Structure 1
Amino acid sequence: MEFHDWIKWNIRYSGNVEVADWTEFFTAACWLIWKRRNVRIFEGRIISFQSISARVSAILQSMKKVSSHGRKLNWDGQQPRCGPNTWKPPPRNWFMLSVDGSFLPDSQRGGCGRVIRDFEGRFVSGFTLRPVGNDSLTTELWAILMVLKHAWDTGLRQIMVASDSLEAVILVKEGNINVHQYRVLVEEIRLMMQRQSNISLMHVSRDANHVADFLARKAPNNWPGFSVISSLRSLFLC
């Protein structure tokens, strides 16, 4: 069996194995082994395989918490930190649409990230987008617009949109855009919001927007164009 086929087989395998959730275990282990290799090459440090095994287990536990309770994803397998600025679920039968934008001045490229979770904190979907723009505010506005369009297209009618950009939230909700450079973009966001009878746009801390922030920072380099993320597992394949 070729190496590529072996990887695909393990990702899709669902037979009898001693480890529960084998697909998630395998993808997390591959990511950490790849990370171990980079640390050894670029930092000269050696991470033991026993440590990798323990971190895989911790990551899987964190994934389950993200899926069931909306907790912050623990990428490094370390003890998670809790506090008042963590993600909070929306009211019953509502959906939380967490968005974020990032911009890299050196490369002049931006990225948007979005993750949708229900009132029980269960992951619904996510996406990344590399929009046209030349600053962080543009990417934040694009992230808000695209998540509103997606919500409308998929029939989500009771939604809370959360952004960690206070500037973008204020501009959309009450900003004077008559001579603003992003007038057209803000007008389109406002029109999308007017379509929805039950919608809320609010500002949250970055700690409460961790997953969307992660996706936004990955988008400029790793995902050209528009990419849909259908499961938590696919986050590890970035």
Structure 2
Amino acid sequence: MQRVSRRLQPHRIVSDQPATTDTEQSAASPVLAIGVEEDQNHLFSHGMIVVSVWEHFSNIFGVNYLSSQSVLQRFNLWISKASKKIRVSRLVGLVPSVISWEIWLSRNQARFEGRAMSASKIISKVAQWLHDIACTILGEDRNSLADSITLQLINIPKAECHLPRNHSIVTWLKPLRGFLKLNVDGSSRGNPGLSGGRGVCRDHHGNLIFAFHRNYGLTLNTIAEAQAMLNGITSYSKLGLRSIIVESDSLTIAKAAADRYDFVPWNIWYKIGTIREFRRSLNLSFSHIFREGNSVADALTRLASEGNPNNFFVSKYALPVKVQGALLLDQAGLRNLQCT
């Protein structure tokens, strides 16, 4: 019954430490009692430590701060202030994602490494992220006076900013109701080298249906990508469901599976052929996603390629902590920056 209850509460996450109201958490003190569930709004929005972080950057960027806002409301407010026409406003849309990521890292370091969690440390980390991003996407010679003042407030000297590189925002999107989405990834260390693949299947709320990672031994990257897709679709077919969207960060594999290539390399021909056969019994669609939007799959692929045992997960609480974090940020609509 407890397990079922947790699956019906996607807004909660498991933590082993009791909540604290101190502005700085002692490395020695526990944060949640074992078995207690921590509300994600407390963790990312309402806790005293994170309130100080949000207030700090809200004042700098002129975004209205309301203490009662949920995580989703706060994300939507910041994103609504973003604009491609005003240079620093491009940065505004990325701020909540950076803040949430650093809060999550700081929370895990406090929990698993005994490091103190404090607002000042998180603010410093976020400022460094924004410094690096701003110097990539903002050109110093085109900044207005207001832009320049804002950049100085987060310690970004004009002399360090360079002309912008090509960049785009990449976001993992939840599937429509009635569909599931399967994200797959494969990798090979050395190409050929020690290889692995993984996949994660989620519903229209972003909730986990299943995830897996497997070792493939010594092989090529393309073979690992194709095998990961085949493993994921095979696992999905056993659920008795029919409609699924399959995303891969390998453009070659995504196009080959969708039958958009006349020629398929011989070393993945059988795997691609088997994947296409599933289209006779399943409502399958295939698409390409950039690696920045495939972060959950990428995290599990590293486990597989590093020689960890094969595993299959049906509960998000069984996933490694870093993978849980990536899953949670996808659910919150994390916007990722891709630079080329």
TM-score bin, normalised by smaller chain: 0.5 to 0.7
Q: Is the 8 A contact 1:98 1:162 kept in 2?
A: yes
Q: Is the 8 A contact 2:182 2:201 kept in 1?
A: yes
Number of residue pairs matched? Answer: 190
User: TM-score w.r.t. structure 2 length?
Assistant: 0.47
- In 1, Cα distance between the equivalents of 2:290 and 2:185? 11
Give the match for residue 4 of structure 1. none
Among all aligned residue pairs of Structure 1 and Structure 2, give the percentage whose two residues are the same amino acid: 25
Give the match for residue 105 of structure 2. 76
Q: Is the 8 A contact 2:183 2:248 kept in 1?
A: yes
- In 2, Cα distance between the equivalents of 1:90 and 1:122? 11
After superposition, the Cα gap between the structure-2 partners of 1:106 and 1:232, relative to the gap in structure 1 and judged at 3 Å, is same
After superposition, the Cα gap between the structure-2 partners of 1:134 and 1:89, relative to the gap in structure 1 and judged at 3 Å, is same
Q: Deviations over 1:12-55 (max 9, x none)?
A: 9xxxxxxxx7x92128xxxxxxxxxxxxxxxxxxxx728996xx
Give the match for residue 49 of structure 1. 27
Which of 172, 185, 191 does residue 100 from structure 1 map onto?
Answer: 185
Which of 301, 313, 317 does residue 216 from structure 1 map onto?
Answer: 301
Matching of residue 24 in structure 1 with residue 17 in structure 2:
no
- In 1, Cα distance between the equivalents of 2:218 and 2:275? 16
Partner AA of 1:185 in structure 2: K
Q: Is the 8 A contact 1:100 1:163 kept in 2?
A: yes
Matches within 5 A, 1:62-211: 74=101, 76-77=105-106, 84-105=169-190, 108-132=193-217, 134-173=219-258, 174-177=260-263, 180-196=266-282, 198-211=283-296
Give SS of 2:267's match. coil
Partner AA of 2:16 in structure 1: F
Q: Is the 8 A contact 2:191 2:220 kept in 1?
A: no
Give the match for residue 69 of structure 1. none
Partner AA of 1:236 in structure 2: P
After superposition, the Cα gap between the structure-2 partners of 1:93 and 1:61, relative to the gap in structure 1 and judged at 3 Å, is farther
- In 2, Cα distance between the equivalents of 1:107 and 1:59? 44
User: TM-score w.r.t. structure 1 length?
Assistant: 0.66
After superposition, the Cα gap between the structure-2 partners of 1:117 and 1:220, relative to the gap in structure 1 and judged at 3 Å, is same
Please tell me the root mean square deviation across aligned C-alpha atoms, in Å. Answer: 3.9
- In 2, Cα distance between the equivalents of 1:59 and 1:218? 29
Give SS of 1:167's match. helix
- In 2, Cα distance between the equivalents of 1:176 and 1:101? 23
Give SS of 2:292's match. helix
Give the match for residue 320 of structure 2. 236
- In 2, Cα distance between the equivalents of 1:179 and 1:233? 39
Shift of 1:76: 1.7
Q: Which has the larger radius of gyration?
A: 2
After superposition, the Cα gap between the structure-2 partners of 1:219 and 1:193, relative to the gap in structure 1 and judged at 3 Å, is same
- In 2, Cα distance between the equivalents of 1:119 and 1:94? 7
4+ long deviations beyond 6 Å? 56-60, 78-81
Q: Is the 8 A contact 1:128 1:215 kept in 2?
A: yes
- In 2, Cα distance between the equivalents of 1:111 and 1:59? 35
Q: Is the 8 A contact 1:111 1:130 kept in 2?
A: yes
- In 2, Cα distance between the equivalents of 1:109 and 1:145? 19
Give SS of 1:119's match. coil
Give SS of 1:76's match. helix
Q: Which runs of 5+ in 2 are unaligned?
A: 4-11, 18-25, 32-37, 45-70, 72-96, 107-121, 131-167, 323-340
Q: Is the 8 A contact 1:95 1:156 kept in 2?
A: no
After superposition, the Cα gap between the structure-2 partners of 1:166 and 1:59, relative to the gap in structure 1 and judged at 3 Å, is farther
Q: Which runs of 5+ in 1 are unaligned?
A: 1-11, 13-20, 28-47, 66-71
